[in-house]
Structure 1
Amino acid sequence: MTVLILTSEQDVTADMVVAQLHERGVPLVRFDPGDLPGEGALSAEYVRGEFRGYLSAGGRVVSMSGLRSIWMRRPNEPAAHAAEPSAWLSAESGQALYGMLDCTNARWMNDPGAATKARQKPWQLRLAHRSGFPVPATIITTYPQVARQFAEQYRHVVVKTVSGKPPSDPPMALPTTLVPPDADFAGVAAGPTLLQRYIAKRADVRLTSVGDEQFAARKVSEPGQVDGRYGDTGHVWEPVEVPARITRAVAAYKDLANLAYGAFDFAEDSEGTWWFLECNQGGQFGFVELETGLPIAEAVAGWLSFTAE
């Protein structure tokens, strides 16, 4: 039985899992949807109630009936590398590829439908509340007056993107930013704006959950640091125990979201409370494993190679 890894060519995190799968002797095929059509090819047959499907990449062919699991790691848009790319060709290729893969009995990390929903920040926040996480007060609004009232109520607030990092050329960084007390909120009317109560944190926490396993790492923050993704604090990621409340909340969140994998980000305040910031259903873990030695790639490989009795 074969493991199918859907990702781009340049993906060091996937490389770490590939190495673990090779050590286990597990057959795998690495496929970039961006190479379909072209370097990648597929064929599916639906005849007399039977389904047969095949996918090829790099000179290797895998039968859909022989798939054990599918890791949707960091795939390119279907047909992204086509000779004449178009929105129509991407839609056709995506429907063909993912529709065919959904016909298999393989288990997903993560299911594409669940992954798409899990990327929606408003839904994440609601799910985080339901799961039992501490969540900072948040609003998403296009009403300037509502934004102004929120800022007046909580005094120290930050502004974030609703959808995450936007596609652009050149790439654009949009860090979480403190909003000054005298900010002009008129611009909120131009597009949905996410405002959140600022958590004065003493550390950033990244928790990577693979199946039933949880691996947490902590990095001390500099005083007044807002966005842990930007700037060098002089500290490194270190393994940390997961509080029982967070362990339960992570399990509940993933169950409600139908996720096999999730990378959770928290802000740890001065009292040790882990405040939920977001869950990235396809978040990287390579940087955490390299600094901490936490066996995350091994856990992913174990989940992908598991065969039910």
Structure 2
Amino acid sequence: MSDPGPVLVVTSLHDPTADVVIRELHDRDVPVVRLDSSDFPASLSVEAEISGHGMRGHLHTPSRTADLANVRALYYRRPTGFAFPHLDEQDARFALTQARYGLGGVLASLPDCLYVNHPHRIGDAEFKPSGLAAAVDAGFQVPPTLVTSRPDAAKAFIKRHGSVVYKPLHNPVYLVDGVSHVVRIAEVTAEDIDDDVAGTVHLFQKRVAKTADVRVTVIGSHIFCVRIDSDLLDWRTDYSRLSYSPVKPPRGIEHRLRRYMHHFGLVFGAFDFCVGEDGTWWFLECNPSGQWYWLEPETGLPMCAALADLLERKT
């Protein structure tokens, strides 16, 4: 790319992590165009022409215009999603699908653009069964896991493995009296299982007797490992009870991380491990759009600089 263009940041209006990255890029005089899918069509528009010369056109926001043929990188964080509240249900459904496959297709097809990560690769990697299978192929230790809609299978799995936890396969937000809630990870017994399990698919996993958790953030060629000490089953339920320390991964972990990233075509990944009593790192999941910045002030690890280097295409 002879004349590096802007970095596109695709995320919601309220995203403190994106704010930090954008500020770092601004300090480096790297142009940034920020947008959210919910901005379309009120304050976001596009024209893209595809011919023998490839894709050409522009993306317009109220304050910026991006040349589609000259986008340096696209940082895909957590966009709100398309919405057409001014249309009736049927017209809104049509408009939404056109926007998703039209504007979404344009953003997924930018020439010579570095994606962090490509939205299609994010979609692939967000399926937990796919991630667990890929982790096994990469050589990670993975706790025995059952994905089922059968109550009898769930009971048999729990009786076979003893201590078992339930995990949601995806975690949509529930509003209770206007307050956001999510379904939490919880230990379950065979007596907790009833016929309601047949209503949808569930994930059950053998509980590992752990001494700590580890969050591994892969940013391009950089790997940042942070040990998280707490007495919690799920450390994300109470950040006030956590302590952090940078650690080096055991032998072989970096190679397995690279194999996993290559499998899904990712350049960023937030991995969660728990550390067994014998020191084994057990793979739990990888979030291709996971949070990471809160760890930098806690540890001093230069994660924001690494991500900015990647988006600037220094690395």
Report the TM-score, using the length of structure 1 for normalisation: 0.92
Please say if 1:220 is aligned against 2:260: no
What does residue 114 of structure 2 align with? 107
- Among residues 40, 44, 47, which one is paired with 2:44 in the alignment? 40
* CA separation of 1:33 and 1:26: change in aligned 2, threshold 3 A: same
Residues 11-90 of structure 1 aligned to structure 2 (within 5 Å): 11-46=15-50, 51-78=55-82, 80=83, 83-84=86-87, 86-90=92-96
What does residue 9 of structure 1 align with? 13
**Aligned AA (2:128):** K
- Among residues 186, 190, 193, which one is paired with 1:184 in the alignment? 193
Residues 1-309 of structure 1 aligned to structure 2 (within 5 Å): 1-46=5-50, 51-78=55-82, 80=83, 83-84=86-87, 86-101=92-107, 102-162=109-169, 164-170=170-176, 171-222=180-231, 225-232=232-239, 234-306=241-313
1:88-110 deviations in Å (ceiling 9; x for gaps): 22221122222222142212111
Q: Which moved more, 1:43-52 or 1:29-38?
A: 43-52
Q: Which moved more, 1:284-293 or 1:148-157?
A: 284-293
Q: Percent identity?
A: 34
Q: Any idea what SS the aligned residue of 1:19 has? A: helix
**CA apart distance, 1:25:** 1.6
Asked if the contact 2:230–2:243 (Cα under 8 Å) also holds between the matched residues in 1, the reply is: no
**CA apart distance, 1:49:** 5.1
**Structure 1: which 5+ runs fail to align?**
none
Asked if the contact 1:77–1:90 (Cα under 8 Å) also holds between the matched residues in 2, the reply is: no
**CA apart distance, 1:67:** 0.5
**Structure 2: which 5+ runs fail to align?**
none
Whole-angstrom distance in 1 between the partners of 2:112 and 2:136: 33
Report the TM-score, using the length of structure 2 for normalisation: 0.90
Whole-angstrom distance in 2 between the partners of 1:47 and 1:245: 46
Asked if the contact 2:214–2:272 (Cα under 8 Å) also holds between the matched residues in 1, the reply is: yes
Whole-angstrom distance in 1 between the partners of 2:97 and 2:173: 18
* CA separation of 1:77 and 1:239: change in aligned 2, threshold 3 A: same
Asked if the contact 2:269–2:286 (Cα under 8 Å) also holds between the matched residues in 1, the reply is: yes
Q: CA RMSD in A?
A: 1.9
Asked if the contact 2:55–2:111 (Cα under 8 Å) also holds between the matched residues in 1, the reply is: no
